[in-house]
Chain A
């Protein structure tokens, strides 16, 4: 609860942020929780919440905070808490009934000049099966997707491995700390028809053809041996046939 309050106090003061474009995942283990929250005020901080209930009615609690850092190497960090004893047990119970583990983030814009605009109400939600989270020992990949103008439009969570094989996770330590890879993905620019390289290539080929001396040779220069061979052959056959014919003429 304390963290939520801290966040809500901090949030209004966060203002200077530049946007981060693609990639930049940052592994962060939960033991550093709190550090980022207290030390970095330059970036935008967004709470990430999770919910896992046996009755499958979502009740979101704070999982951690996303720190967006601007600058040349824009990046995102996730600082998050350890799972408490109670949470661990609940998670295992939810996994046993094949419940869902949900996360959500509020709808925000990552672009500095847009943050002053009205904040959207509502959240972006995603889920993963609780059993796969347990079986992967809390190793998950969270991806935030933004649109062209830097609004966060979607969040996704996957675990590695993603399957549920029914493996018992005995060791409590495995379920204490999240091993999260987080990244922000912006849309890629789709390619346009590439005319310039194509024309260049065509020109190169034409040039090559032009430079190649063999291509420029005349018909006779190219096929002189064939013509010569043909001529010799014809002559040979003619000379072979002449004697009888000539003999007949003489008689």
Chain B
């Protein structure tokens, strides 16, 4: 009987929590975008003319193939994160792409059409220096990999190692590059900095050293940055100090030193402080490189030169020119040069490499995005047209990791915003009302000024409404007359952006690590605006705050991004309108000192902007905005404004109170010794969280009140001792105002990484159990008990009794990358936990399963309360995966936001990919289902109506007849 009850209870509870997407709902309210990261290597497939493949390897350790016509992914391979999966080199020959991965750990060959792995070879240890394809008699057969101490040659078709040889004197000589030109020899070039160059010749067949020589080059400090091999094995180097070029034939036996050619003889000069760069091209690895090369003299000055018979001839001077690149198609090699045209555009032109002559009709105009970064790399895809002339497409990469693919005569074929592969933080902002709605709102917002004017105002706004409605009808009529194909889809642009009925469509403001901000429409995923912040340090921390929401018409919404340099602690503010992305004109306070903490207060000024307090390292407070009104309000409420600081390096937690003069005083201090444990994370509750019910109704109809302390902080520590038996994870619940430690628990034999959610009256955390080697969930719930101390208002200063703490733990049979809780408008809907997994799926786990009151033994009362009996293992049901097959690779964070519908919570998961969806933790109780049968219900209704009418009539007739009788 008890068992039956258990099963019944489980099945009943599941009835209420099961939620899944039906097949016909796929893509209806969710979307996913896949990214690759900042491109480090890109190669066009020149194997055949019709090929659309573009192979890229990125800083996110992604190796992918893009469709060069659309920019979509053909396939994508993700390697390990960190240096273990880093792509060191990408080479392509025919259908094969050879990749060196993980600092020379692995050599892989990929089939480029479908992205299948052809072979993989584990290389000997040693740090990677260079890799090159090696050809013999016009055919590329091998790939050579140069490590710090050895060189190895591998067969291109099987990956088998042909030979491996130790490099001579590798402890003193830095070997940096490989060169071969299909004559049966491989040259390894090494350098003893500021002393001499070493050239070693290897025979391809067996790796025998044919020749080894060293050439004096006292001026040279790096081979890679200042040298290139051109024209049948001539090493060409450039030196900034002596302002000269040096040449040396690699194979010559008699020449014992490099031949110096002064740049002055060519009437050239290197810009002071600029390291000149040589760019050469070797179209076929089995053939010697071309005799032409580019010399970059300053950031915007390139020169095309030619080496012939030991003499250097100037072919063309490109001044100014930002970027240059060689490309080869068939027998022709061309050079693409990007030069600035005016303030907002650059022009790209094609020049023939051997003469420096410009090709006609090859001009592409590249428009610079004023909100984007400067272009920094050019990838050219040249191809032959039918009349044998050379045409090209070009991919431009900018500082903000954006890829733009252009076609002649300047048409943008596609763009990819690769900065979105590294989203740091985000917010969801309500969209503004439409003009007419705003007009109505404005009417209510204004102060009453006489009956007559109010009537006029009301009438005028009604007329405007009528007008828009008529316009809408006209448009519908007009569109209906047009053929279907010509009716454009409702494209979302920044102009027609407006809030929908249920506020389901929002603006996603995303901040990326590169310093580029995006405004993305949450319904379609369209990027509506972007803004690149220049001069962002790569290790900056970002904090995004919504100071004013969209609700305060006519004041525009306002977001503030705090950018903090982690090294110096110095910060700056970027204030912008989240709907349009425009920078606000409001004066931003100067922050000359490193900052410690920021605080967004509910105090608002006349413009309805919340005040932001910024605390610097001298505990001085800066208010933004700092109008007189704000300062007055701050003075009045100073004694009730508290903030806390956490110094994890010293384990110190301290609390401060604001004084009237905006200085602060220390009021409490707690120190968790760093010898034993280290603070890894501190989390408060979300400010926009609503809790609907104050307590829980128990089985016996009494109420267990929740301990809802808005100032509670959850502090998580990890032990410094990492031994699996002694390591532990500490959980401290600390009141942020009084510094009172409300609860202190230690999870023994546990270690991080700890993910946790702090919300309502509970904390859920996940840790790794080092004894049983598994992930475990633990939930802490805080209750005040059967009666509330002070039911009207919560004050941390007046809450003497500590709460009751209940805790329970569960096994979670899967890995966890991130954790977040759903959030709804009023907090009535039951909560779910969203668990991001390393596999890329997102699990929506009902909070019901994480309830410390789950009983060991079922009783009448627990059944009454709908508690699920305790089971140590957390179930994972496939229908709980909210993103079905749309996995989010390397998921790093989940953002939840309430919508206008109480049942619906908006979810955005970001990592390498971005996925947006909606979840309905208690199902859609406040909206009709998608497949609701309107026809049936209305026909039944009308049928009943007419039946009543007819029967009424019949009854009347009958009555009349009876009366006559």
Chain A residues close to B by CB (< 8 Å)? 56, 98, 100, 102, 104, 107, 120, 122-129, 132, 141, 143, 145, 147-149, 151, 153-156, 158-164, 185-195, 197-198, 201, 205, 209
Contacts and interface: CB of A to CB of B under 8 A. Distances in A.
Contacts of A123: 669
Given A151-B676, A193-B776, A160 B800 contact: yes
B773 to A, nearest CB: 13
A153 B670 contact: yes
Interface in B834-874: 856-857, 870-873
A159 B800 contact: yes
Contacts of B740: 126, 143, 154, 156, 158
Closest 3 CB pairs of A and B: A154-B670, A156-B740, A193-B872
B665 interface: yes
Contacts of A205: 2-3
A196 to B, nearest CB: 9
Given A148-B746, A201-B856, A162 B797 contact: yes
Contacts of B731: 190
A141 B738 CA distance: 14
Contacts of A194: 809, 856, 870, 872
B644 interface: no
A153 B672 contact: yes
A154 B747 CA distance: 19
Nearest to A107: B671
A163 B798 contact: yes
A104 B870 CA distance: 43
B923 interface: no
A193 B811 contact: yes
Contacts of B870: 194, 198
Contact of B744 (A122, A141, A145): A145
Most buried by B among A153, A198, A209: A153
B765 to A, nearest CB: 9
28 contacts: A98-B639, A123-B669, A124-B670, A126-B740, A127-B668, A128-B738, A143-B741, A147-B673, A147-B676, A149-B673, A154-B734, A155-B670, A162-B798, A163-B790, A186-B744, A187-B744, A188-B745, A189-B747, A189-B748, A190-B731, A190-B778, A190-B809, A193-B809, A193-B810, A193-B811, A193-B873, A198-B870, A198-B871
Interface in B657-675: 665-673
Given A158-B740, A162-B799, A151 B872 contact: no
A174 B567 CA distance: 54
A125 B738 CA distance: 10
Contacts of B744: 145, 147, 185-188
A190 B807 contact: yes
Nearest to A160: B800
A156 B667 contact: no
A158 B413 CA distance: 68
Contacts of B857: 201
B756 to A, nearest CB: 13
Given A151-B673, A153-B672, 9 more contacts: A123-B669, A127-B739, A129-B797, A145-B741, A148-B677, A154-B739, A158-B740, A162-B799, A191-B809
A127 B665 CA distance: 12
Contacts of B811: 193, 195
Contacts of B800: 141, 158-162
A197 B739 contact: no
B522 interface: no
A197 B856 CA distance: 8
B748 to A, nearest CB: 6
Most buried by B among A98, A145, A185, A186: A145
B188 to A, nearest CB: 56
A191 B667 contact: no
Interface of B: 2-3, 639, 665-673, 676-677, 728, 730-731, 734, 738-741, 743-748, 769, 776, 778, 790, 797-800, 807-811, 856-857, 870-873
A195 B872 contact: yes
B668 A125 contact: yes
Contacts of B873: 193
B748 A100 contact: no
A153 B673 contact: yes
A209 B3 contact: yes
A198 B738 contact: no
Given A156-B741, A194-B870, A120 B671 contact: yes
A245 B808 CA distance: 72
Contacts of A107: 671
A125 B666 contact: yes
A147 B808 contact: no
A117 B748 CA distance: 25
B576 to A, nearest CB: 40
A156 B728 contact: no
A19 B469 CA distance: 79
A213 B702 CA distance: 40
Contacts of B669: 104, 122-125
Contacts of B739: 125-127, 154, 156
A128 B229 CA distance: 77
Contacts of A120: 671, 673
Nearest to A98: B639
B746 A187 contact: yes
Given A98-B639, A147-B673, A201-B856, A187 B668 contact: no
Contacts of B738: 126-128, 156
B797 A198 contact: no
B654 to A, nearest CB: 8
B872 A149 contact: no
A118 to B, nearest CB: 10
Nearest to B746: A187
B730 A125 contact: no
B671 A190 contact: no
Contacts of B677: 147-148
Given A147-B673, A154-B670, A158-B740, A198 B872 contact: yes
A188 to B, nearest CB: 5
B411 to A, nearest CB: 60
Contacts of A147: 672-673, 676-677, 730, 744
Nearest to A153: B672
Nearest to B657: A100
A199 to B, nearest CB: 9
A191 B807 contact: yes
A162 B738 CA distance: 13
A191 to B, nearest CB: 5
B746 A190 contact: yes
A164 B797 CA distance: 10
Contacts of A122: 669, 671
A122 to B, nearest CB: 7
A133 to B, nearest CB: 12
Most buried by B among A107, A185, A190, A192: A190
Contacts of A197: 856
B728 to A, nearest CB: 7
A59 to B, nearest CB: 13
A197 B872 CA distance: 10
A148 B728 contact: yes
Most buried by A among B738, B810, B873: B738
A124 B730 CA distance: 19
B586 to A, nearest CB: 34
B666 to A, nearest CB: 7
Contact of A149 (B3, B667, B676, B810): B676
Contacts of B790: 163
A107 B671 CA distance: 8
B776 to A, nearest CB: 6
A192 B871 CA distance: 12
Given A132-B798, A198-B871, A187 B745 contact: yes
Most buried by B among A102, A162, A205: A162
A189 B797 CA distance: 28
Contacts of A155: 670
A190 B3 contact: no
Nearest to B872: A193
